[in-house]
Structure 1
């Protein structure tokens, strides 16, 4: 908002210090003047007492004026110096803020000294700059990678159409099949980007969601894929109720289970889905067998388009947004996502969301009671209606 020019804080503090010193001086002189007036009558009874009294009052007034003048100068100079010393940290913070406003996010205040209000403000600002710099860097990488990923199917489509136009005898059926595959991949990527944007904007209706039900529905939906890869799935755990979007949390669970299936052992792989209810968190854990993952690689798998070098050339490489969407959905629900490599190979992914007290009439037992559903995926959900198909975004 536009503001009219005014006095600086240093000038205001200087005037405040000087005014306080002058007020203290005036009070001191007033006390001295009262003291002198109490003893002046004693001089009136002696010879020349009146003259002595007049001279004393004149000398006192002269000394008082000089003292007040000295206190004024001393208050202004001392106040200016003290205000400068006190506001020096604020000046550094202001400089850093202006640099950040111009786009320089790498600058840090690093204010020395012991902890006080200014140091707390500077440290908080440094932490904010660090997070903002990391976020901007991540967004730039995301934009570059998204542009590259979107450009690839478009370039392939153009190349296929150019070949078809220059070669009239080219197999039209093969061309259509390849164009269909390329176009499907572009659509999947676009849908994944839209889902990621929706999760980041938190534009969804919140309701009570049982993560154990989400795990069962995801397992049922991905049954054909699991059978195709020779993977068995076990779902077990507690009723874990949180508050959020049922569609997004089902997408989160589906992505995790899908990721655990396709990045598994070539044969006889296993996936375990477990839900836990803690005092303040509803926890979903998905772990799978598979290749060994280094501790350095695990954290970056949640970044957009990070698939791992061996995954890019696989037929199930996806678009590289599966775990990124999971992370975004978890953060949109005020939750946390943790990736831990398993010693025997594979990955353990834990999503912790704020717990909600389930309604008494949910009819699924008492929260915290273990409901073991540790059975092969083919037996999951017997007696229940088939879950609606949900396409994983990878």
Structure 2
């Protein structure tokens, strides 16, 4: 356990199994979690729920006599695999074996899953051999992404280690293939939301510029560099330290909104519907004065969304060149700017030392209709100078 969950919530559960006692314990944890929203960081709270669910699953695993089976492993995958669970989020599980599971073990697995359903867990699960997990992951980008974020909860450690080896082989899914599929997946998702984050009832998970866009950055980077932590990407020179910090800040705000939304909706709801917004705004500390509170919350949300858009665009562009090796013709406009493909590219690091060049950048965009976006190098440099100018304005 990484989080200081109250000891009484982690005290031994009764044997034989008593459904009411488990439900009571889950309710007590939910009450503790809601009471501490706003008193501790949302990151600690989502990690705490993951740890507490681990505790419950370990107990149910033993009650189902699966702990005596030598060829079965219980893995958390997806968000749960990252150790991140919001109050009403589902839990994604992979029950992994080396060989086909015998009927007697299948019965125990059925008991394990039935007990979790009786406890009102929203469980997404798969029962697979290592070979099946690899084969299906090759053909399904959603499953491949889930497998990237894997964590052994209990059971046979050798199965988990063998899966690790197979997943890290390039023949499973190259970083190039993975990037292309995730990029296409993001474009399709954005199209469903009309490619805008300015939705008055945003889906905090799937909307453009929301949590999925942040996760896509980390998925692509972690696959390419074979890491399990976004923080490690700073060492690979993919992220600057301040960009990593900004990703964390944006995630924390969106997590706060989602956590509060789950509390208000009392279910796994990601759409910030009008009916929920006043209560969510109050829980987040924006006040209880109705519409003004909501306006303050949404103003902050749209600022965060803009930052996520910039990060997503800049960092995925970098992968477009570093992973795919895409090269474009460069058309020089002047000493400071050039056109690279459909992007406006800065030609040196001191471009924005002269503030007039900020206006010149927009003039080039207006005069050159083939320019559809800023190059990742331009975005990174412009973001740096914008922070500097904002600092000057505050002093």
Q: TM-score range by the shorter chain?
A: under 0.3
Q: Taking structure 2 as the reference length, what is the TM-score of the superposition?
A: 0.23
Give the TM-score taking structure 1 as reference length: 0.23
**Who wins on radius of gyration, i.e. which is larger?**
1
